[in-house]
Amino acid sequence: MPATPTFNRREFLKGGLHAGAAAAGIVGTGAVLAGCETTANNSPSSIIDLGRPTPTDWRRLASTLQGTLVLPSSPSYANDRLLYNSKFANLHPSAIVYCETSQDVARCIDFVTRHSIEVAARSGGHSYGGYSSSPGLVIDVSRLNSITVNTRSNVATIGAGALLIDTYNALGNAGRLLPGGSCPTVGIAGLALGGGVGVFARKFGLTCDNLQTVHMISASGDALRLDESTHSDLLWASRGGGGGNFGVATRFEFTVHPMPQITLFSLEYPWNAATSVLDAWQQWISRAPDELWSNCLLLSQGNFGYLTQISGVYCGSPSGLESLLAPLRTDIGTSATSIFVGSNDYLEAMKIEAGCSNLSVAACHLSAENSSGQLNREAYSAKSSFLDAPTSASRTQDLVDAVATLKDYAPTLGGGLAFDSYGGVINRIKSDQTAFVHRDKLAGIQATYSWSSDTSFSDIAAGERWLTWLGSNVFDQASGAYQNYIDPTLSDWKSAYYGANIERLVRIKKKCDPHNIFRFAQSIPVEL
Ligand SMILES: Cc1cc2nc3c(=O)[nH]c(=O)nc-3n(C[C@H](O)[C@H](O)[C@H](O)COP(=O)(O)OP(=O)(O)OC[C@H]3O[C@@H](n4cnc5c(N)ncnc54)[C@H](O)[C@@H]3O)c2cc1C
């Protein structure tokens, strides 16, 4: 039970009334508002800036929370401030709150508003831009991670802090599937709010396409329930408009699907076949049934040569997949050096996609976040783009050459291009039906390079130059970029991520967060 805070006269006059209300549980009590506009008691004219929080202010906040406040003086701060990508190890928030309830979230939002400090929501902490950290307060929702599945209505209720591996485990146990992403430690909130591209997306849509309801604490600290009839604009924006822009989601309801038969495959080829592999793959996926999802990986592996791989997931039997693979293999015209085709259950398939197939669910977590976890943080940079249609022979060659060019920049760095098939259900949804605009693509492309603690600064900088070169010279900049691979170096990010949907997103932002409380370098602005 949180202790009741006390107020001195100065604090009371400066706005303790509202803070007192928060302490008494009046803020974010779950009252569902008719609109997301700023509420009267928290309108800008009624907010008195209390200035940067003092240690007493932080203590007072802590006393109102069921969750845990972590300050720089706390023993766990050194670990708790870190994001997944270790290149953000230099970020030092003023505080982190591990919220236990949606009221905790509301109290945090009230606190940052009163003290005019920066805020960022954090779920799995995998933002490519480090945008789930902030110099002010990090509202961490990882403890809001319960998952329940109603197999009669085919609806899963998933806390905003649930990680993908735990989500797949719970759903798999219930015999249900939610299309999601690959990395086991990505948070459901960041994934779903920005889209959610994965191995079942061609058959069942993006994660955000399966989002029915969002429970969110708004910029004014109110608990909103977004569905098709209430706050439908904000629900529209939550389906691909990007995390961190409109409020802090606490819980989602998703449509889930009865489990299909699942077959995985992987084909590897020598690097000298890479051009014909990429060419044949593009033609093949442009004709593929919804049941088939695939990706093509072209990697330069430093001292270990190259990798040319086509892999994927088929909702059907191994024999059905074999017949689909036959024309692809004929078109490639070179023998694969390694072939795998096998039936898997959902959890096993997702663990293979996650790269932790030989680990238990508990072990498929970060060691820093879970005592059984065996995964480590990574350091990488990335850039994304799309293919609108199969590329010409010369452009295909350019894409392959771009991978090999990484060796000219830094011979020992690992990196390359991953092509993920779009199409199917993804493309049958109109581009303005949800905030996720990329509905006419053949494939997404992601360029990445990664490094370890042994990599020299000059190699890391060379990798960055390779990415920049690739973004300007190889990628088709008009084709857009995927907002969940958020890219701090992108200048025209508004149109790249959101296309024509940016105008509606800005209108919703202006209505729901007029004072731009939820802001970061690439957040939806209140004015275009
Ligand atoms: C290794 C790896 C693999 C990936 N694989 C895929 C993939 O297969 N498919 C795919 O689509 N994407 C993939 N991604 C990208 C991933 O979807 C995004 O990075 C996503 O934003 C991460 O979500 P998160 O909750 O882990 O991150 P966070 O860093 O916690 O959040 C990302 C953004 O959402 C905001 N946010 C977090 N929680 C909330 C909340 N409760 N309410 C509102 N806003 C919130 C944050 O402020 C931040 O701006 C991958 C990323 C990594 C690092």
Give the model's pLDDT for residue 43. Answer: 54
Quote the ligand 1 centre to 312 CA distance (angstroms): 22
Q: In this structure, what are the phi and psi dihedrals at residue 488, rounded to the nearest 5 degrees?
A: -60, -15
Q: Please indicate whether residue 373, judged by its CB atom, sits closer than 6 Å to ligand 1.
A: no
Residues 6 or more apart whose CB falls under 8 angstroms from that of 120 comprise 93, 131, 132, 133, 134, 136, 137, 138, 139, 244, 520
pLDDT of 46 above 60: no
Q: Same structural domain for residues 121 and 83?
A: yes
Q: Same structural domain for residues 399 and 464?
A: yes
Annotate 164-212 with three-state secondary structure. Answer: HHHHHHHHHHCCEECCCCCCCCCEHHHHHHHCCCCCCHHHHCCCHHHEE
Give the model's pLDDT for residue 344. Answer: 87
pLDDT of 47 above 50: yes
Torsion of CA 151, 157, 162, 164, to 10 degrees: 40
Find the domain containing 304 and state its range.
Answer: 262-344+378-490
Q: In this structure, what are the phi and psi dihedrals at residue 245, rounded to the nearest 5 degrees?
A: -100, -35
Q: Which two structure tokens, joined as six digits, stand for 183? A: 């990395």
Q: Please indicate whether residue 93, judged by its CB atom, sits closer than 6 Å to ligand 1.
A: no
Give the model's pLDDT for residue 493. Answer: 98
Give the model's pLDDT for residue 343. Answer: 87
Contact 1, 100 (CB under 8 A): no
Q: Same structural domain for residues 324 and 459?
A: yes
Share the mean pLDDT of the chain.
92
Residue 528 domain-assigned? no
Residue 460 domain-assigned? yes
Task: State the closest ligand 1 atom to the C-alpha of 131, by its place in the atom list counted from 1.
Answer: 49
Please report, for the domain that includes residue 170, its CATH number: 3.30.465.10
In angstroms, rounded to a whole number, what is the distance separating the alpha carbons of residues 366 and 376? 5
Q: Please indicate whether residue 179, judged by its CB atom, sits closer than 6 Å to ligand 1.
A: no
Residue matched to tokens 């088709």: 476
Give the model's pLDDT for residue 21. Answer: 35
Q: Same structural domain for residues 384 and 286?
A: yes
Quote the ligand 1 centre to 190 CA distance (angstroms): 3
Residue matched to tokens 């085709």: 341
Residue-wise pLDDT for 224-236, tens only, equals: 999 999 999 999 9
Contact 425, 290 (CB under 8 A): yes
Global confidence as pTM: 0.93
Amino acid at 21: A
Residue 5 region by backbone torsions, left for phi larger than 0, else alpha for psi between -120 and 50, else beta: beta
Q: Please indicate whether residue 280, judged by its CB atom, sits closer than 6 Å to ligand 1.
A: no
Q: Same structural domain for residues 453 and 504?
A: no
Quote the ligand 1 centre to 136 CA distance (angstroms): 20
Residue-wise pLDDT for 337-355, tens only, equals: 999 999 889 999 999 999 9
Give the pLDDT band of residue 50 (cuts 50, 70, 90): confident
Q: Same structural domain for residues 164 and 83?
A: no
Q: In this structure, what are the phi and psi dihedrals at residue 186, rounded to the nearest 5 degrees?
A: -65, 145
In angstroms, rounded to a whole number, what is the distance separating the alpha carbons of residues 353 and 360? 14
Over residues 484-488, mean pLDDT: 98
